[in-house]
Structure 1
Amino acid sequence: MQQRRPVRRALLSVSDKAGIVEFAQALSARGVELLSTGGTARLLADKGLPVTEVSDYTGFPEMMDGRVKTLHPKVHGGILGRRGQDDGIMQQHGIAPIDMVVVNLYPFAQTVAREGCSLEDAVENIDIGGPTMVRSAAKNHKDVAIVVKSSDYDAIINEMDANEGSLTLATRFDLAIKAFEHTAAYDSMIANYFGSMVPAYHGESKEAAGRFPRTLNLNFIKKQDMRYGENSHQQAAFYIEENVKEASVATATQLQGKALSYNNIADTDAALECVKEFNEPACVIVKHANPCGVAVSDSDS
């Protein structure tokens, strides 16, 4: 999977702008033409970078308070166009190939987590153009690199330097997987949010309305490989939900010691959930997820 594709033109449109200026500077310094939208374009221009607004490229203005920015054939044709197969039709319609798409999505999870978030606020933070570009680029990963994580910026520049401005198919494929994971998690969050509002219907009890959605979408990311599974001959990994704030094993940091096993995780979780039942300082001893002894005290000394 060493098929390399040079990066000559990149489209950048990000909600979370951490690291985007430095990444854009690195791309521009390597001769990459920059296309961008809205606030991202203004930020890059303010930093002195040569950037073309997508509306100038398409000849079609942003409209509806930014709801329609990139939903245009000159954008998606440039992303989805197959090199060596669609070149003629792209040239006929003035569609320039876009070799890299850098997108992260509206902060839906952070918005709905805010106290007092209204339905209108939630709706306005449902990204449409972003996921569409992400999926288009991921589908055409044979020719296009899709970047959804700022943590990948440095590695991408390093690979371009090692390959005369190109990225390998292996890298584009890995980036595409991350992109599909990203949009799947995003849509799941939105579905879960609206699903929690579904009123009772048909045979559902009124008491259960809003408490148990018709569909519950779960997304987990791997936190670490475990030393072994429930038994020493088994392999295991520890997966966690993103954006969880509650104190738990999933949100804890291991300060010392060797890698944890499945049983270590299960026992630690059982112990933590047990002591959380008490307001006083508490201690619990656990074996195979069963509390063997529990004690409480008036002080933690």
Structure 2
Amino acid sequence: MKNNNPIRCVLISVYNPYSILKFLNKLYKKDISLLSTESIYDILTNNSINSTNISDYVQFPNIIINNINLLHPRIHAGVAGRRIKDHSDMLYNRVVPIDMICVDLIPFEKLIKSKNIKLREIMKKIDIGNLSLIKSSIINYKEVAIVINNHDNIIKEMNNNNNCITLKTKLELAEKAFVYSVEYEKKILDYLKKYKHII
């Protein structure tokens, strides 16, 4: 079974971090660096799990829309950057290679079921930061594992492979993530088609 480089840095941006606290704690105990959004940073800190706040890492505040700093070039360069070919550029620009992203998307069904919520408010809550992260990781699937679910299986594979995720698994994860993001965007499209008279 062929391995890639071990997981050293994981970015976390999930809708419900409490559901994966055990997974994140296991990563932390493996001495893996964790990058987290502001809200998740507070939750991890309260559960004795050290992480780096993404706002501090990119030196840009979380303004205008939720998790806008996930769109920062230092984040996407860390995900899409090739560890050997782009090494000098990443080093020069102080980009930390991100080996795994642990993300999911705000349930769109919950957004549209909210009472008295306007179309503009719904559009503003579309998870563009995580959608962009998913696509960046798919581009670089050979070097970045994208984890949306089945966290226990990921830990098992890491335990069996010196904290590495095999290329086969990374490709499977990328495929699942692509389907997940397309289905999410299809829900948005269907909603806009249904309510296009409001726009």
* TM-score computed with the length of structure 2 as normaliser: 0.93
Which contiguous aligned blocks of 4+ residues in structure 1 show a shift greater than 3 angstroms?
A: 114-117
| TM alignment of 1:251-290, pairs within 5 A | none
Residue 59 (1) aligns with residue 59 (2):
yes
Q: CA deviation at 1:3?
A: 3.7
Q: Is the 8 A contact 1:108 1:125 kept in 2?
A: no
C-alpha contact 1:146 1:176 (8 A) present in aligned 2: yes
Matched residue type, 1:176 = A
Q: Summarize the alignment of residues 48-127 of structure 1 with structure 2, pairs less than 5 Å apart.
A: 48-66=48-66, 68-127=68-127
Shift of 1:60: 1.6
The 5 Å alignment of 1:190-201 reads: 190-199=188-197
Q: Distance in 1 between matches of 2:59 and 2:27?
A: 25
> Residue 67 of structure 1: CA displacement?
5.0
8 Å contact 2:66–2:125 — kept in the other structure? no
Q: What is the Cα deviation at residue 18 of structure 1?
A: 4.4
Residue in structure 1 matched with residue 44 of structure 2 by the alignment: 44
In terms of fraction of residues, the more helix-rich structure is: 2
- The answer to which of 13-22 and 125-134 deviates more is 13-22
More strand by share: 1
CA distance in 1, matches of 2:114, 2:65: 22
Match of 2:178 among 180, 184, 193: 180
Instruction: Give yes or no for contact 1:111–1:121 (8 Å, CA) kept in 2.
Output: no
SS where residue 7 of structure 1 aligns? coil
Contact 1:34 1:52 in 2 (8 A): yes
Quote the residue 2:156 is aligned against: 158
TM-score by length of 1: 0.63
SS of corresponding position for 1:35: strand
Instruction: Name 2:8's counterpart in structure 1.
Output: 8
Alignment of 1:190-229 (within 5 A): 190-199=188-197
**Closer, same or farther: CA 164–107 of 1 in aligned 2, 3 Å:** same
**Counterpart of 2:29?**
29
SS at match of 1:4: coil
Equivalent residue of 1:188, what SS?
Answer: helix
- Structure 1 portions without partners, runs of 5+: 200-209, 211-301
Matched with 1:264 is none
Residue number in structure 1 paired with 2:187: 189
Note the aligned Cα RMSD (angstroms): 1.6
1:120-135, aligned counterparts within 5 Å?
120-135=120-135
Count of residues in correspondence between the two structures: 198
**AA partner of residue 54 (structure 2):** V
- Tell me, in whole angstroms, the C-alpha distance in 2 between the residues paired with 1:18 and 1:188: 27
Identity of aligned residues (%): 34
CA distance in 2, matches of 1:92, 1:69: 20
Higher relative contact order (CA 8 A, sep 6+): 2
Distance in 1 (CA, whole Å) between partners of 2:115 and 2:148 is 27
Contact 1:107/1:125 (<8 A) preserved: no
